[in-house]
Amino acid sequence: MKKLLLIVLVLALSPLTGLAQTTDELVNDGKNPANVTTQSMGYYRQSYSPLKQITKSNVQRLVPIWNASLMNDMGELAAPTVYNGVMYVINGKWTFAIDIETGRQIWRTPVELEPGVQRAAITRGAATIYNGKLFRVTIDNHIVALDMKTGKQIWNQKFADLKEGYYATSAPIVANGVVISGMAGGESTTRGFLDGWDPDTGKKLWRRYTIPAPGEPGSDTWPKDSDAWKVGGGPTWRSGSYDPALDLVYWGVGNAEPYDPRPRGALDSLYTSSVLAIRPKTGEIVCYFQYTPNDVYDVDGTDENVLADIQVNGQPRKVMIQANKNGFLYVVDRTNCKLVAAHALVKVNWASQIDQTTGRPVLTDVYKRFLAGEEVEIWPSQAGRRASSGQSELGLADRSDDRPAGTHRRLQALPRRRRSRNLAVSRHQRSADRVQSGDRVDLCEYLEPAAHPEARGAAACAGAWGKHHGCDRSPP
């Protein structure tokens, strides 16, 4: 009997034929497993494949058939996309097109950075493909469109200044014919935003800041007569989800800056640590849900929001699901951003529960003890996190680097030393967070069905909850 050779990669007969992806192909990604045209194999970000050839009984018989160097010593954080037999791969240094049947490199294009850039170049997400073009960002805040057939640059737009603390790591997405990109650098006391781009010309169509200016909706959650909103954080460093039927993009927003809440008036600091539902054509915020108001723990809200259609109390509901780094699993109605359910999925001590009516966390005494200057242990964390606000005016510094690996992290406030943009805030806080399993799991086991019966029978959720990477960056 001949041995069965299982091939991990999907084979196609004619690479480089039919390079113009349509919107329908992006919307229906996952239904045709020969192509993977979006990150997570679909706009819903469920990271689920319908393929059945590889099973528990034969997975041990998989063997490699080729390998290819991606010429990158920083590790690979981005997933490939596949279209008509060609795999498109991005990292911080290169963009590749590879024949998936043979591993032959069809073309490669180097990432060209501005002179003097020293920040380590990494890229998350996936190679974004649409209408014969590949879209990606570079660490020095450029968004670039390449020809999928040749790898040649079609257009290049700079959207922020690295010298001001901005950088870029997350892949853009294409929604309703608009390329939408985010930014990183919230820890550098920047002001977060999303941009919308014309895919053909590179013209910027709109910018949506994640921190409202005075007079805009949500500005009352920032101190009056203060410039705190200008440097309030709220980065958008992970890629979003999209519901084509509702025409809404769901994009997570990072934590507020500085971590010390006093310069922010200990207010909610919208729209940090939230998910925004926006119109892709205009950037209009239709609704939002804030996971952690006044986030002082760097738990943010950037991880992917998995979209699902489930039954709640016998009625169909369109929801988005996030396993937040604050320790709670959230199910939110994606039509209006109202909470459906939220329960702890790991040990949590900073909040006792999420109020099912208001959606706000019910705080324990940890926060008050922290503000009083007491060193407190904070969960969730890799091994617990110890924090102290001290008696200083601004900022928190991670002092855990002098402790053995696996022990508690300690945060300590630092005094004001420079102007607000140059807050002396340590850049060590981006150590790896717990990664949730990518297996499809029963949502009910997290939602405590005995206490929350409407969640029974909920569709399984999937997706790998990304690690939070970063770097040391001393204030200038």
Mean pLDDT for the stretch of residues 122-151: 97
Predicted local confidence at residue 19, as pLDDT:
59
Residue 220 maps to a domain: no
Mean pLDDT for the stretch of residues 183-202: 95
- DSSP per-residue codes, 247-303: TEEEEE---BSSSSSGGGTT---TTTTEEEEE-TTT--EEEEEESSTT--SS--S-S
Task: Please tell me the distance from the alpha carbon of residue 138 to that of residue 237, in angstroms, as a whole number.
Answer: 12
- Where is pLDDT greater, at 387 or 222? 222
Residue-range definition of the domain harbouring residue 62: 1-68+75-117
Residue 193 maps to a domain: no
Mean pLDDT for the stretch of residues 118-127: 93
Render pLDDT for 205-214 as a digit per residue (tens, 0 to 9).
999 999 999 9
CB 10 within 8 A of CB 82: yes
Render pLDDT for 438-455 as a digit per residue (tens, 0 to 9).
333 333 333 333 333 333
- Domains identified in the chain, total number: 1
Predicted local confidence at residue 28, as pLDDT:
82
Predicted local confidence at residue 114, as pLDDT:
95
Render pLDDT for 55-103 as a digit per residue (tens, 0 to 9).
999 999 999 999 999 999 888 999 999 999 999 999 999 999 999 999 9
Task: Please tell me the distance from the alpha carbon of residue 302 to that of residue 254, in angstroms, as a whole number.
Answer: 5
Q: Three-class SS of residue 145?
A: strand
Predicted local confidence at residue 468, as pLDDT:
29
Residue 392 maps to a domain: no
Predicted local confidence at residue 80, as pLDDT:
95
Average pLDDT, the chain: 80
- Where is pLDDT greater, at 125 or 467? 125
- Is residue 20 pLDDT above 70, yes or no? no
- DSSP per-residue codes, 426-437: -SGGGPPPPPPP
Residue 345 maps to a domain: no
Render pLDDT for 378-415 as a digit per residue (tens, 0 to 9).
899 765 455 554 433 323 333 333 333 333 334 444 33
Residue 55 maps to a domain: yes
Flag the least confident range among 15-29, 41-55, 177-191, 372-386.
15-29
CA distances from 372 to 24, 350, 391 (A): 55, 15, 8
Residue 21 maps to a domain: yes
Active site residues: 298
Task: Please tell me the distance from the alpha carbon of residue 94 to that of residue 428, in angstroms, as a whole number.
Answer: 27
Render pLDDT for 265-306 as a digit per residue (tens, 0 to 9).
999 999 999 999 999 999 999 999 999 999 998 899 999 999
Residue 407 maps to a domain: no
Helix (H) or strand (E) holding 173: strand 173-175
- Where is pLDDT greater, at 435 or 107? 107
Residue 335 maps to a domain: no
Instruction: Mark residue 92 as left, alpha or beta (left: phi above 0; alpha: psi -120 to 50; beta: remaining).
Output: alpha
Mean pLDDT for the stretch of residues 457-470: 29
- Is residue 181 pLDDT above 60, yes or no? yes
Render pLDDT for 403-413 as a digit per residue (tens, 0 to 9).
333 333 344 44
Instruction: Name which of 109, 170, 116 is nearest 138 in CA terms.
Output: 170
